[in-house]
Amino acid sequence: MTVTTQAKPIPTAPGLPLLGNIREIQQKEILKFAEDLRAAYGDLVQFRAGPFPLVFVCHPEHLYHIFVKNVGNYVKGPRYDLLRLLMGNGLVTSEGDLWWQQRRLIQPTFTPKAVLHFHDMMVQVTQKMIERWQPCVGQTIYVDQEMMRLTMAVIGEAMFSIDLNEQAIAVGQAFGVAFQYIGEATGKAFVPPLYVPTPGNVRFKRALETINNFIDERIAYGRAHPTDQNILTMLLQARDEETNAGMDEKQLRDEVITLFFAGFETTARALTWAFYLLSQHPDKREKLQAEVDAVLGKRQPTVEDLYRLPYTRMVADETLRIYPPTGFVARQAKQDDQLGDYHLPAGSILMISPHVTHRLPELWPEPERFEPERFAPGKLTDLHKCAYMPFVTGPRVCIGNSFALLEIVIALAMVSQVYQLDMAPRQIKEAFVGTTRPTEEIHMTLHGR
């Protein structure tokens, strides 16, 4: 990419020496900080989280340039180092040839057609949750915990063909601790190295141990049961097209942990936000209920039904617009580049926010409003292809996007057939701690329909 001589330097938001904008980020919370940054400075601005300069990017044309047009110039870079402590060099964090080789191996399991193979399992797991809820009618349920349990049960079955049951709670908590640590540390100016026994480091290391033991146990089980049909046995049997080599032990572990983790946390957040939004918009909820009643009645959804539940899918899409679970991703420019009229020096670290892009009023009128109808077929044909990117786009698009949407649509439809989750009108704030999560537990009253 040539940088033209007229390219301008990216404007900088003023900050304190050393601390940069970190106080403001902590006071406002990073999502709000990013929204305000965009409102004050426009599409491209540099700020500092501590001593480190970051370039904030949210314009769809710039995103297209980074994720598609000049994608070869961008790596994930050092902002993923903390995540590497958990996921090693799995698909989310690896770069270059290793990433491409692994993506080729894993991709076939996650195509839109291939994930339909998981449909019946997802229906059964959701059914179990619905039955487990039966005695709780009229009572309060913790929707965020329930959704975490559901999505972990789904990925447990998909990856290992096991019902995680009680183990899900211990492993879920360990992932929660690990992710909280990573999320918080990412926003700090200085993070003590792991060998320093701060309470946070000790907790994090203990969580890693629980996770690693769990993953090692599962891999050993998978090796002992090679005829099981699941993602783990697929990974164990996968061979590189050219060299016929399988994955070494470390790579296998990294991919298993990556898929397991990436597979439940984000989807659980999306479902929690969806039920919250529906509870706050009874008219939209009625439309969804009317659709599932008309299409499914009392029976379980089949694969064919998925195409007959457009409104349920629109609710999923709109939820992912308002609360994209991955509120931020990062990239680093390998070489000098030009974004629009601006010069982006080599080595620049970019903070990209689907959260902010999804709320740009020139792209999304009344962006805060929950309006699933925006996604009605044919409605978004003129929209820029990077105006909506809960899964990002380009070669590094989320590999699990079809899997996640299938799971979300099934859960929304099946729960809405039987129950209504109610919450008195109120505004729950969001915060970004690795994923975009509610700042408080989501308690709702479970009513039968």
Residues that bind ligand HEM (CB under 6 A): 91-92, 103, 258-259, 262-263, 266-267, 270, 324-326, 329, 390-392, 396, 398-400, 403-404
Q: How far is the CB of 303 from ligand HEM (least distance, A)?
A: 18
Q: Which is nearer to ligand HEM, 301 or 400 (CB)?
A: 400
Q: By the 8 A CB rule, do 152 and 164 touch?
A: yes
Q: Which is nearer to ligand HEM, 15 or 99 (CB)?
A: 99
Q: Which residues pair with 446 in a beta bridge?
A: 421
Q: Which is nearer to ligand HEM, 267 or 417 (CB)?
A: 267
Q: Which is nearer to ligand HEM, 89 or 445 (CB)?
A: 89
* Closest residue by Cα to residue 234 from 247, 249, 220, 215: 247
Q: How far is the CB of 327 from ligand HEM (least distance, A)?
A: 9
Q: How far is the CB of 80 from ligand HEM (least distance, A)?
A: 7
Q: Which residue in the shown chain puts its C-beta closest to ligand HEM? A: 400
CB crowding 64-96: b at 16 or more within 10 Å, else e: bbbbeebeebbebbebbebbbbbbbbbbbbbee
Q: How far is the CB of 331 from ligand HEM (least distance, A)?
A: 8
Q: Which is nearer to ligand HEM, 127 or 401 (CB)?
A: 401
Q: Which is nearer to ligand HEM, 10 or 409 (CB)?
A: 409
* Closest residue by Cα to residue 371 from 411, 321, 325: 321
Q: How far is the CB of 322 from ligand HEM (least distance, A)?
A: 12
What angle separates helix 249-280 from helix 199-224, to the nearest 10 degrees? 110
What distances in angstroms separate CA 290 from CA 16, 117, 285, 295, 310, one per listed residue?
Answer: 54, 27, 9, 9, 12
Q: Give the list of residues 6+ apart from residue 384 with CB closer than 8 angstroms, or none.
A: 60, 61, 64, 363
Phi, psi for residue 252 in degrees, rounded to 5: -60, -45
Structure tokens at 167: 């183990």
* 415 DSSP 8-state letter: H
Q: How far is the CB of 332 from ligand HEM (least distance, A)?
A: 12
Q: How far is the CB of 263 from ligand HEM (least distance, A)?
A: 3
Q: Which is nearer to ligand HEM, 15 or 151 (CB)?
A: 151
> What three-state secondary structure class fits 29?
coil
Q: Which is nearer to ligand HEM, 95 or 422 (CB)?
A: 95
CA atoms 413, 415, 420, 426: torsion sign: negative
Structure tokens at 359: 């709320």
Q: How far is the CB of 255 from ligand HEM (least distance, A)?
A: 8
- Dihedral angle of Cα 216, 221, 222, 225, to the nearest 10 degrees: 170
